[in-house]
Each structure stands twice: as structure tokens, then as C-alpha cells.
């Protein structure tokens, strides 16, 4: 299957990656090639096969539903590109 430019543009927008026309053009054949490569999976008979999500035989343990972490907002904010009064700052969203 080959992806057209509009589809690549849509995927870039879903992935929140800005791409110039030139980049979209460059990405188009590369993505088409990879998608074409993985499409060989369609040949495999997977009737009655359950999808595998957890590869090893361990049952994840549930922990008690209690607060067991936190209380260090300063550490959380340490790497923030912009912060003020204990909050992350983002560009204005509502007028």
C-alpha cells in the first residue's frame, strides 16, 4: 500500500510533529515502503490466535490503593521549560 501526501500529513498532525512539504514528500516513500514491508503479516493465518500483550508468565501485582509518593513539587518542576508558583506554564489556551 502506498501512502499519499494527504495521509502522511494527517499522520504527522496526529503525531503532533510539524512537517514542511519537503519533509512530507521525503517521508512519503519511506513510510510506504515500511508499511508495504509489514503488510506481509496478512499472509499469516491467525484464526483463533489471541493477541499477545504480556510476553512472560507473570501476573502484575496490585498494590494497596494508598498515596505512597509525592510531596516534592520542586523536584517535579526542576526540569520544566517554564514554571511559576508551583505550576507548569503553557501558552495561553483560552482567551
Partner 1 sequence: MSKLTDLTIASALTGLDNKDFTAVELAQAHIDAMAEHSALNAFITETPDIALKQAESSDKRRASGDAGALDGIPLAIKDLFCTNGVQTTAASRILEGFIPQYESTVTQKLFDDGAVMLGKTNLDEFAMGSSNTTSYYGNVINPWKREGDDTDLTPGGSSGGSAAAVAAQICMGATGTDTGGSIRQPASFCGITGMKPTYGRCSRWGTIAFASSLDQAGTFARSVEDNALLLRSMSGHDPKDSTSANKSVPDFAAALTGDIKGKVIGIPKEYRVDGMPEEISALWQRGIEWLESAGATTIEVSLPHTHYALATYYVIAPAEASSNLARYDGVRFGHRAKEDDLTDMYEITRAEGFGEEVKRRIMIGTYALSSGYYDAYYIKAQKVRRLISQDFLSAFEKCDALLTPTAPSSAFAIGENEDDPIKMYLNDVFTVPASLAGLPGISIPAGVDAQGLPLGLQVIGRPWDEETVFKVAGVVENLAQFAYVPQTVKRLPHD
* Residue ranges that bind partner 1, judged by CB under 8 A: 3, 8, 11-19, 27, 30-31, 33-35, 37-44, 46, 49-58, 60-61, 63, 72, 75-76, 78-82, 88, 90-93
Measured CA to CA, the distance from residue 31 to residue 19 in angstroms comes to 14
Measured CA to CA, the distance from residue 41 to residue 45 in angstroms comes to 9
Q: How far is the CB of 17 from partner 1 (least distance, A)?
A: 5
Q: How far is the CB of 10 from partner 1 (least distance, A)?
A: 8
Strand partners of residue 83: 88
Q: How far is the CB of 85 from partner 1 (least distance, A)?
A: 16
Residue 93: HSE in the Cβ half-sphere, 13 Å Cα cutoff: 2
Amino acid at each position: 500500500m502506498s501512502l499519499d501526501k494527504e495521509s502522511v500529513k494527517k499522520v504527522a498532525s496526529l503525531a503532533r510533529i510539524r512537517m514542511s512539504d519537503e519533509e512530507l514528500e521525503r517521508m512519503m516513500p519511506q513510510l510506504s515502503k515500511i508499511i508495504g514491508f509489514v503488510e506481509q503479516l496478512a499472509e499469516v493465518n491467525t484464526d483463533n490466535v489471541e493477541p499477545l500483550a504480556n510476553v512472560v508468565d507473570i501476573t502484575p501485582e496490585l498494590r494497596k490503593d494508598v498515596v505512597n509518593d509525592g510531596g516534592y513539587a520542586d523536584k517535579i518542576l526542576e526540569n520544566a521549560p517554564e514554571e511559576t508558583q508551583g505550576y507548569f506554564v503553557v501558552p495561553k489556551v483560552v482567551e
